[in-house]
Amino acid sequence: MIGVSTILKRDVKRAARSGGTWAYGLVFMVIFLTLSAIALDGEMSTLRRLGVPLIWLAVTFATLMSADRAFSEDIKDGTTGQLWLGGFGYLEQAGSGIFAFGLIHLLPLIITAPLWSVLFDLNSETVIGLVAALLLAFPGIAAFTALAGALTGGQGKGGFLAIFISAPLLVPILIFGVAASQAYAITGWAAVEFRALAGLSLLALAVSVPATAAALAANTDR
């Protein structure tokens, strides 16, 4: 019987054997942040001020670049329909697909964020706030980006379209994400921005899971 864990195991195993294609986002993030630090002339006070927003931008861009990897292969080769016939419905496929996408394409960016924060000389409290905010935003970013991937998965070249669809959806998460990362150093865990971010993530999941399921069903009917 196919379940969420079967899908996760399959996707993680395939990513690990893909010759590093899962790491495109990570490589982009490193290059983007390094070039940003160089472009800002290595001026420490500027780097410290812009470090958090730049890391958030890098995470967002890097995830968007992978948007067309969510669901598109399963839709194109007919796996989505086969899973549905095998009793693994579109809603379950949406949930497990979003989680697998986040795990493979987004989590490595979040885990390595403290490493890149060295470039910007961020203090430890800011780094804790940054990672906590990124983790809270994880479901939201993964859900909206994977939704765009599912919507455009049936297209030949859906990559750009997926970016255009998901970018506006990610703006509120980006705004509150940066605010929460910076608020931790001042108000700690009680910062209202963390609650707003968690709320946005839950909202993203509530909207994206059924919408992704509908997109998968529509893309299977061809």
The site for other proteins (CB under 8 A) is made up of: 1-2, 6, 10, 13-14, 17-18, 73, 77-79, 81-82, 84-87, 220-222
Please say whether the beta carbons of 213 and 80 come within 8 A. no
Tokens 């509120």 locate to 172
Closest distance of CB 77 from other proteins, Å: 5
Alpha carbon separation from 213 to 47, 71, 164 (Å, rounded) = 42, 11, 20
Closest distance of CB 79 from other proteins, Å: 5
36/220 with CB nearer other proteins: 220
Using alpha carbons, list the distances in angstroms from residue 217 to 17, 79, 95, 157.
29, 12, 14, 19
Cβ 137 to other proteins shortest distance, Å: 29
| Shortest Å, Cβ 70 to other proteins | 15
| Residue 48 or 76 with smaller CB distance to other proteins | 76
Specify whether the CB–CB gap between 164 and 152 falls below 8 A. Answer: no
| Of 2 and 167, CB closest to other proteins | 2
Question: 101 vs 120, which CB is nearer to other proteins?
Answer: 101
Task: Using DSSP, state whether 153 is helix, strand or coil.
Answer: coil
Rounded to a whole number of angstroms, the CA Rg of the chain reads: 18
